[in-house]
């Protein structure tokens, strides 16, 4: 893997993105891709030494792979990373049925029957880029699939036994920083710790 070329390309993309946003006065065209680019940038920064070793690599898929955007391969182990970006108050456009077992009764009341089985080597990187374009601030939160499902259970649990008023079959929910603050990992080093512990 040519780490230096990857780093240069991502740096160029982020500089261009800032310029285009300033000229256009809006950032909707960047939705999702900016969070993925920021994640790649930090992963290369944190794992540069590891990625220069034979067999280690980062593969970027964006929306091409169902369920994850980035594959990190280090010393024979893999981490599939699903990036979620927020540019405002919350991470939105999420559906609890992806994480929880939910059933509806005849009155359309939702009943949560537990979390879905965790997927090994699947992780979520929640990217808070709300202040990146004007101040350069980025926050990362890294969760395993099991941790994410527990967070969703706590966040969505208020609908257990209730009927959603506008769209009873909806499982849409949002997460804020408060729900995931325990998982803040601005250097994205959790996978390095994982490798060192084996």
Is residue 145 within 8 Å of residue 127, measured between CB atoms?
no
The Cα-based distances of 115 to 12, 92, 142, 148, 169 in angstroms read 41, 20, 19, 10, 18
pTM, whole model, 2 decimals? Answer: 0.90
Integer angstrom CA distances of residue 64 from 70, 82, 134, 142, 161: 10, 12, 30, 21, 36
Q: pLDDT for 57-67, tens place per residue? A: 999 998 777 88
Count Cβ atoms below 10 Å from residue 174 Cβ, excluding itself.
15
Residue 161 has pLDDT above 60, yes or no: yes
Least confident of 14-23, 38-47, 138-147: 14-23
> Could you list the residue range(s) of the whole structural domain that residue 190 is in?
3-196
Give me the CATH number covering residue 28.
3.40.210
Quick one: DSSP state of residue 113?
A: E
Q: What radius of gyration, in Å, describes the C-alpha atoms of the chain?
A: 18
The reported pLDDT for the residue numbered 63 is 73
Question: How many domains, the chain?
Answer: 1
Stretch 8-22: mean pLDDT, rounded?
89
pLDDT of residue 198: 44
Q: Give residue for tokens 């036994």.
A: 161
Q: Is 60 exposed, middle or buried (0-12, 13-18, 19+ CB in 10 A)?
A: middle
- Distance (Å) of CA 192 to CA 43, 76, 124, 133, 198: 10, 13, 16, 28, 10
Rounded Cα gap, residues 83 and 134, in angstroms? 21
Q: Is the pLDDT of residue 96 over 80?
A: yes
* Residues 187, 128: Cα–Cα separation, whole Å: 13
| The pLDDT value given to residue 129 | 87
pLDDT in tens, 176-198: 999 999 999 999 998 776 655 54
- pLDDT, average across residues 160-172: 94
Quick check: helix, strand or coil at residue 177? helix
């Amino acid at each position: 893997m040519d780490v230096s070329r990857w780093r240069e390309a991502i740096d160029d993309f982020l500089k261009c993105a800032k310029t285009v946003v300033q000229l256009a006065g809006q950032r909707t065209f960047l939705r999702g891709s900016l969070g993925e680019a920021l994640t790649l940038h930090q992963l290369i920064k944190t794992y540069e030494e590891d990625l220069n070793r034979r067999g280690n690599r980062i593969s970027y898929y964006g929306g091409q792979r169902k369920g994850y955007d980035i594959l990190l391969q280090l010393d024979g182990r893999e981490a599939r990373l699903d990036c979620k970006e927020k540019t405002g108050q919350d991470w939105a456009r999420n559906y609890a049925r992806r994480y929880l077992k939910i059933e509806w009764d005849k009155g359309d009341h939702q009943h949560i029957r537990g979390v879905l089985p965790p997927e090994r080597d699947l992780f979520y990187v929640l990217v808070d880029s709300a202040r990146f374009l004007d101040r350069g601030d980025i926050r990362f939160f890294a969760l395993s699939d099991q941790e994410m499902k527990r967070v969703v259970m706590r966040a969505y649990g208020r609908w257990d036994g209730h009927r959603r008023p506008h769209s009873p079959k909806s499982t849409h929910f949002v997460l804020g920083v408060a729900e995931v603050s325990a998982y803040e990992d601005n250097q994205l080093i959790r996978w390095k710790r994982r490798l060192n512990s084996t």
